Homo-oligomer: A and B are copies of this chain.
Amino acid sequence: MPKGVPAVLPNDGLTTRQRRNQPILAVHTGEGKGKSTAAFGMALRAWNQGFDIGVFQFVKSAKWKVGEEAAFRALGQVHEETGAGGAVEWHKMGEGWSWARKSGSEDDHAAAALEGWREIARRLRNQTHRFYVLDEFTYPLKWGWIDTTEVVQTLLDRPGNQHVVITGRDAPQALIDAADLVTGMTKVKHPMDTGRKGQRGIEW
């Protein structure tokens, strides 16, 4: 856990406080478990600071991560009822983005992914949220459904103090270059190796 004195003191004209409070672009990548899970763990901290949270899941199936969604919806409810923590919005591509009037052809994942990104770009420009989780967002980048160069530029140009966490395998190098914090999750050992399948409360 990083604490104490940074390794380098940059000559960037910023005070320690200004530098400390720069918005973070984080990427969780690699073949191992925990990429999304750690992103949602970070969102817990953001919630506790009262940050407005926007989660955008670029997944086809809504089967996974129902646990995290239910817990964050409960936390969003706590915020609405008591003012504690931050507001939570949770959007999924798998069911058609909730803001979309019609989801178009359900089979056109490329169009749906691009539609999701366009909305996120709008929200970044409008500073709609303070903390964004773009879950499994590396895949539409990897598959060329969304232009990585445009994404990186939009992220670098985002105004104000908006934190963004992006998850998924095979993060493009341009995204890694643009990110402030990149963690690689590596599989050391997995129950599937010995023939065990996923189970509730653990995998979803």
Contact = CB atoms under 8 A, between A and B. Distances in A.
Interface of A: 1-3, 6-10, 12, 16, 19-22, 24, 27-30, 32-34, 36-42, 44-49, 51, 64-68, 70-72, 74-75, 77-78, 84-85, 130-131, 163, 176, 179-204
Contacts of A7: 192-193, 195
Contact of A45 (B32, B33, B68): B68
Nearest to A186: B184
A201 B45 contact: yes
A199 B75 CA distance: 22
B199 A188 contact: no
Contact of A6 (B189, B195, B199): B195
A198 B2 CA distance: 8
Contacts of A70: 48, 84-85
A189 B176 contact: yes
Contact of A20 (B21, B186, B196): B196
Contacts of A12: 195
Contacts of A51: 201
A29 B34 CA distance: 11
Given A67-B48, A70-B48, A193-B8, A201 B34 contact: no
B75 A71 contact: yes
B74 A201 contact: no
Nearest to A12: B195
A3 to B, nearest CB: 7
A74 B30 CA distance: 32
B9 A195 contact: yes
A51 B180 CA distance: 35
10 contacts: A6-B192, A19-B195, A29-B188, A34-B185, A37-B38, A38-B41, A38-B185, A41-B41, A74-B78, A182-B190
